[in-house]
Amino acid sequence: MKKLLIANWKMHYGPIKAGAWIRAFRRERLPKELDIAVAVPFVSLAAARSSLGRASIPALAAQDVFWNEEGAFTGEISPGMLLEFGTEYCIVGHSERRQYLGETDEMVSKKAAAAQRSGISPVICVGETKIQRARGEASKTVRSQITAAVSQSKSEGKAPLVIAYEPLWAIGSGKSCSPQDTKEMHTIIRSVLEKKLGKAASAVRILYGGSVDVRNVAEYMTTTGVDGALIGGASLDPRNFGLLCRAALPA
């Protein structure tokens, strides 16, 4: 199973800049041993798809999804709508949505299940706060989030689950989690998945996210239990993200 890198632009780049980013990134020399995706804002999916043309790298990802296919849900986007753009992945439960928009574990579970049923791989984000880690509650917090998030998912769904461990205190702070702590948390996540999903857990990739950049990406990618990374700020420049992709797998 290839390792996976996902660029998360967050609230950056409308259609014009998104198209330019994709065209520039397609000129980068990328390692064939990696799966690469880019999570763009809803309004930029059409431009990104158009700029990709028939190319499959990077794969398209969305930054959120709703759990119903249609109905009176003003402002929401369904899995079926995302599929029209050829979207392969969708981030759900990102800490910023949990923090600023009040997303609950139950909402994350419903979104993940809806995406998976439609053939889109949900990228379920979990992670503890600085206070929770200081209190020794990191393991308990993440176990609870994972258990809730996969409660409605199918062990043999149309699309495999992806988990992204993002300690909240590391996101955008420049203070990344140590490889040893990352290994421990990924081991915990894997054990919960095996308990909940059985053999299907082996198909789930567990990513690390939180201040990953060109300087430290290789260290994370070679850490036991880490199957890739979710990249924020370091992905906003296409050349820098291309460099990061090449640095991810040291020769």
Active site residues: 94, 166
Q: Beta strand 34-40 with 3-8: parallel, antiparallel or unpaired?
A: parallel
d(CA 94, CA 106): 14
127 residue type, one letter: G
d(CA 191, CA 185): 10
Residue 182 near residue 222 (C-beta atoms within 8 A): no
d(CA 8, CA 89): 11
d(CA 43, CA 102): 22
Angle at the Cα of 59 (from 54 to 64), degrees rounded to 5? 130
